[in-house]
Amino acid sequence: MNEMTTQEFKDLMKQAEMTKKSFSEILGTSYNAVNGWGTNNRGYPYWVRSWLNLYIENKECKELKQLLKETVCKNEESSE
């Protein structure tokens, strides 16, 4: 797989609704480490793309689950 670009990282972070600070906190690493990725000829760790994609997918599934739950509960209440 090709190396992650800075633009791809920014796009994924935006989709994840995350800042570098919040990302570093979730990972349990320093902000400076995350902020240093993609600068001064440093690439991004190989796992970042897949981690962010899974985070985004999980977030979307949770949102869909909540929406379905609200819809089903609302329909059950109206049928009573």
Q: Note if the pTM is more than 0.95.
A: no
What ranges do the domains of the chain cover? 6-79
pLDDT tens track for 19-71? 999 999 999 999 999 999 998 888 999 999 999 999 999 999 999 998 888 88
Nearest to residue 33, comparing CAs of 41, 24, 25? 24
CB 24 within 8 A of CB 31: yes
Other CB atoms within 10 A of residue 42 CB: 9
| Rounded-to-integer distance, Cα 21 and Cα 14, Å | 13
pLDDT tens track for 10-19? 999 999 999 9
Nearest to residue 51, comparing CAs of 29, 26, 33, 32? 26
